[in-house]
Amino acid sequence: MAVKRQLNRIKRRVREGKFDPAPLPIERAAKEPRVYLAGFDVFRQDAKAHGEHLKQLCRDRGFVGLYPLDGQLPSCLQGEEAARSIYSANVDLIRSADVVMANLDGFRGPGEPDSGTAFEVGFAVALAKPVWGYRSNAETLAERIEATSVSSAGGVCPAGYLAWRLGVGEAVASL
- Domain annotation for the chain: domains and CATH numbers: 23-136 (3.40.50.450), 139-175 (no CATH)
Let me know if 30 is exposed, middle or buried by CB neighbors in 10 A (0-12, 13-18, 19+).
exposed
Other CB atoms closer than 10 Å to residue 132's CB: what's the count? 12
Q: How many angstroms separate the CA atoms of 148 and 158, rounded?
A: 6
Q: Cα separation of 57 and 39, whole Å? A: 16
Per-residue pLDDT reduced to its tens digit, 71-125: 676 777 788 888 888 888 899 999 999 999 999 888 877 667 889 999 999 999 9
Task: Look at strands 154-156 and 162-165 and give their pairing.
Answer: antiparallel
Residues 6+ apart with CB under 8 A from 95: 127
Select from 96, 91, 23 the least CA-distant residue to 64. Answer: 96
If pLDDT is split at 50, 70 and 90, which confidence band does 70 have? confident
Task: Kindly report which listed range (2-6, 21-25, 127-131) carries the lowest average pLDDT score.
Answer: 21-25
Kind of pairing between the strands at 34-38 and 64-66? parallel
Judge whether residue 165 has pLDDT over 80. Answer: no
pTM: 0.69
